Structure 1
Amino acid sequence: MSLALIIDTEAWRTHLRNFAEEAPGLVPVAKGNGYGYGLERLAQETSLLAQHRQTVDTLAVGTQPEIAKVRAGGWEGDVVVLTPWSRHDGEQVLHDERVISTIARLDDLDAARQANPRARVVLELMTSMRRHGLTVDELPRVAERLGELQVEGWTIHLPMVAADRLGEARALAAGALATRRAPLWLSHLTAQEYDTLRAEVSVATRLRVGTKLWLGAPRTRRTTARVLDMHPVRRGERIGYWQRRMPTDGWVVVVSGGTANGIALEAPTSAATLRQRAITLATGSLEAAGFALSPYTVAGKKRFFVEPPHMQSSLVFLPGAGSVAIGDELPVQVRLTTVTVDEIRG
């Protein structure tokens, strides 16, 4: 009764190898739920990439606890932790010679140097993201505080969309390199932007990539759910936890996958165009009326939830005579960064 991620492994690995070939200085990012594949699996795939292309020597994780998970997956190379280190995090990680910690505040730079004067660090610059980072005005004070810290580079985490993302990266890189010559670690540049900047600077560059690497070849995977049960219902009949009335005759189809898997978990919309906003508005109006479209495709169409998903299963409504059977596998469209599947095949 599982929610399954099915991978065409050879095609996926071909995509990963091709991506690595076209991105000099690639640093794969493995964080959170491992983009649906799991952190251990991404660690294994990064090890294979490193065998194919020896310049893949570092894996990025989001938080300190994720270090143990990628090590359990077999990754033996360097690990860079993207969430900035804080003196509240403990000092142990600063003494691990295979871990590179991110520093984004002057106070934490002082604390890291006191904890281990030779700790390996990357220094994060504040971008228009306004999430973490040292400002350009703080750079003179950064230079005074570095001491013997092993500065592995400057990290620039750019927004997904910006009027002049390359211009922002150029300006920040110039300020950073005037303070300390060290490699540039970059996120969210296009391949063309990255190549342009790489040709302009005289230091090594690293490109951190997560989504476009692991999820960049959608035809290499599919996600399915299983029909667990189905029951005929008549118009007006009340069913489910919340005893909602059925709009017409049809079938209640019980499918695998629920809140424990992240089914129907939504993030704030990133809709930018009028069309995207109109779709969001229309979908929201349907939900307000009690009709929420599910991610499950039954008999060739996405169907509406009968009610909010249960913990490990969901109820969807199929009007008419019904054309599925218990045990059938159904396509389910999910955001892999927010969903935990029960099994991975491939």
Structure 2
Amino acid sequence: MSGLTLHLDVDRWRRHLRAEAGSTPGLVPVIKGNGYGFGLRRLAEESALLGVDTIAVGLPSEVDQVRDAFGKTVVILNPWDAHLPLAVELAEDPQVLTTVSRLQDLAALADLETRPRVLVEVLTSMRRHGIAPTDLDRVALLADRVRIEGWSLHLPLRQQGRSAEAESLARAALAALPAPLWFSHLPPGEAAVLASDLAAPGAPPVPLRLRSGTQLWLGDPGSRHTTATVLDVHEVSRGMRVGYRQRPCLSDGYVVVVAGGTSHGVGLEAPTSASSLRQRAVALTSGGLEAAGRALSPYTIAGRKRWFLEPPHMQSSQVFLPGNATPPSLGDEVPVEVRLTTVTVDQIVPTHAP
């Protein structure tokens, strides 16, 4: 075993997946990008085991990577684009449900002979994609030429005002055309209340579908950990120049070469939100350290996170270990903290609880 390795307690992970599926009515697992670190095909297979009838990918190009492992409906979340030949082709595929977020695109889909399956996205306070609530009545005019299977609403993560926005936009959509509501970032408890509130007196709750990605696949951090293989260890003395940039060592110690570089996503972590002045100051300070070549690495060696000697290389990284610490041996596995939504591991190794 060598490289960047994700150790996964498969039994515990699957217990979490089943618990999420059981508590999330209308669950639609989201499978996109790097597959949340697990890979698209594996998540498609896990979704099939959960017994759901629909999964969601981000791009048209991701459909082929999951359709063999999941034989039911595949939703494409990114808005349909008439300039993409693959998107046009997939819009006529009966297994595919296409998201449309512009009126002109809905009209173009309505011109296809196959009467494609579509989700119509409503513009939320995210201001990313969607048709404005004031224009939703124009969607109903095309309902006989496409199969509208629901309204899609992608809500912001911020909790304040979320339920009120969900209800307001849902009412606007249902007034234009009765159809199931597909939500992102709406907790099951809030969704259940909303479904009841939207229902007419004596009528059953409005059908809701809840998309889940991060919470579903990564919601139990205790089910996994990531390690990197020690590839080389070199003793160095103060002033010795090392690395591509030949920076001098500030003290005696060791250069530890570990698996994981830019091709894995190490050192390319997505930025975290910084809403307070203190958080922004920390972010600025961290950025200054990185610019000066003094970034703290995600690798833990001899009990502490250690500094990068320089930015990560393509497939490995060099970190500095002070001389008063015990160096690891060649082939040792050291802990590395990575964000699985931005990192590609070399291998996934099943583990079991002791």
Normalising by structure 2, what TM-score? Answer: 0.93
**1:112-131 alignment, distance < 5 Å:** 112-116=109-113, 118-131=115-128
**1:285-324 alignment, distance < 5 Å:** 285-321=288-324, 322-324=326-328
Residue matched to 2:140: 143
Shift of 1:162: 5.2
Q: How far apart are the structure 2 equivalents of 1:278 and 1:192?
A: 36
Q: What are the ranges of 5 or more consecutive residues in structure 1 without an aligned counterpart?
A: 51-55
Q: Give the counterpart of 1:76 among 47, 59, 71.
A: 71
Q: 8 Å contact 1:101–1:121 — kept in the other structure?
A: yes
The alignment of Structure 1 onto Structure 2 pairs a total of residues equal to 340
Q: How far apart are the structure 1 equivalents of 2:287 and 2:331?
A: 32
Shift of 1:268: 3.3
Q: 8 Å contact 1:117–1:147 — kept in the other structure?
A: no
CA deviations over 1:15-42 (Å, ceiling 9, x no partner): 0000011101100000000000000000
The residue type paired with residue 161 of structure 2 is: D
In terms of mean alpha carbon deviation, does 244-253 or 89-98 score higher?
A: 89-98
**1:1-346 alignment, distance < 5 Å:** 1-50=2-51, 56-72=52-68, 74-90=69-85, 91-116=88-113, 118-161=115-158, 163-202=160-199, 203-321=206-324, 322-346=326-350
RMSD: 1.3
Q: How far apart are the structure 1 equivalents of 2:5 and 2:237?
A: 31
Q: 8 Å contact 1:94–1:116 — kept in the other structure?
A: no
Shift of 1:88: 1.2
Shift of 1:183: 0.2
Secondary structure of the structure 1 residue equivalent to 2:317: strand
Report % sequence identity: 54
CA deviations over 1:87-118 (Å, ceiling 9, x no partner): 11232112211110001111100100101352
Q: 8 Å contact 2:311–2:317 — kept in the other structure?
A: yes
Shift of 1:156: 0.4
Q: How far apart are the structure 2 equivalents of 1:252 and 1:82?
A: 45
Q: How far apart are the structure 2 equivalents of 1:345 and 1:21?
A: 27
Q: How far apart are the structure 1 equivalents of 2:113 and 2:152?
A: 21
Shift of 1:269: 3.2
Shift of 1:312: 0.7
CA deviations over 1:244-298 (Å, ceiling 9, x no partner): 0101100000000111101100323312234433432332232233211101011
The residue type paired with residue 233 of structure 2 is: M
Q: 8 Å contact 2:233–2:327 — kept in the other structure?
A: no
Secondary structure of the structure 1 residue equivalent to 2:97: strand
Q: 8 Å contact 2:254–2:327 — kept in the other structure?
A: no
Q: What are the ranges of 5 or more consecutive residues in structure 2 without an aligned counterpart?
A: 200-205
CA deviations over 1:67-106 (Å, ceiling 9, x no partner): 100124x111101100011211232112211110001111
Q: How far apart are the structure 1 equivalents of 2:84 and 2:290?
A: 42
Q: How far apart are the structure 1 equivalents of 2:261 and 2:113?
A: 46
CA deviations over 1:322-345 (Å, ceiling 9, x no partner): 331111101100111111111111
The residue type paired with residue 10 of structure 2 is: T
Q: How far apart are the structure 1 equivalents of 2:71 and 2:113?
A: 22
Secondary structure of the structure 2 residue equivalent to 1:307: coil
